[in-house]
């Protein structure tokens, strides 16, 4: 589902966006120095796919990794995703544990 959609980094609104079936899912963020704080995950009710959230978050984390930024998940849902994916734990700044 996510593979066919384009991930957009809307830096004006400070959010990552992906449009699926006329629904806009987004992750709001704040960028400070070399850290990106992921503050809010918004998935519209119209997106029913169970795996969508994981795929969307993985796509965002991969893009952040390409930018060589550290990630600070402040949203409980995003922190839960990081806890369940060791691959992304290395992106946390020194001293941040979740």
- Rounded-to-integer distance, Cα 25 and Cα 90, Å: 25
Domain boundaries, the chain: 7-89
In Å, what is the CA distance from 68 to each residue of 8, 35, 43, 73, 86? 17, 9, 26, 16, 17
* Total number of residues shown for the chain: 98
pTM of the model: 0.91
At 1 the pLDDT is 64
The CATH number given to 7-89 is 3.40.630.30
- Rounded-to-integer distance, Cα 53 and Cα 47, Å: 9
On the question of pLDDT at 19 being above 80, the answer is yes
The pLDDT tens digits for 22-68 are 899 999 999 998 999 999 999 999 888 889 999 999 999 999 999 99
- E strand or H helix that includes residue 54: helix 52-66
Which 3 state secondary structure label does DSSP give 20? strand
């Amino acid at each position: 589902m996510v593979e066919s959609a384009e991930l957009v980094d809307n830096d004006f609104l400070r959010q990552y966006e992906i449009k699926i079936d006329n629904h806009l899912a987004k992750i709001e963020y704040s960028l400070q120095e070399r850290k990106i704080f992921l503050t809010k995950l918004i998935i519209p009710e119209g997106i029913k796919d169970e795996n969508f959230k994981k795929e969307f978050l993985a796509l965002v984390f991969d893009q952040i990794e390409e930018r060589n930024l550290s990630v600070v998940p402040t949203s409980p849902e995003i922190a839960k995703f990081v806890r369940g994916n060791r691959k992304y734990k290395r992106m946390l700044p020194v001293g941040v544990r979740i």
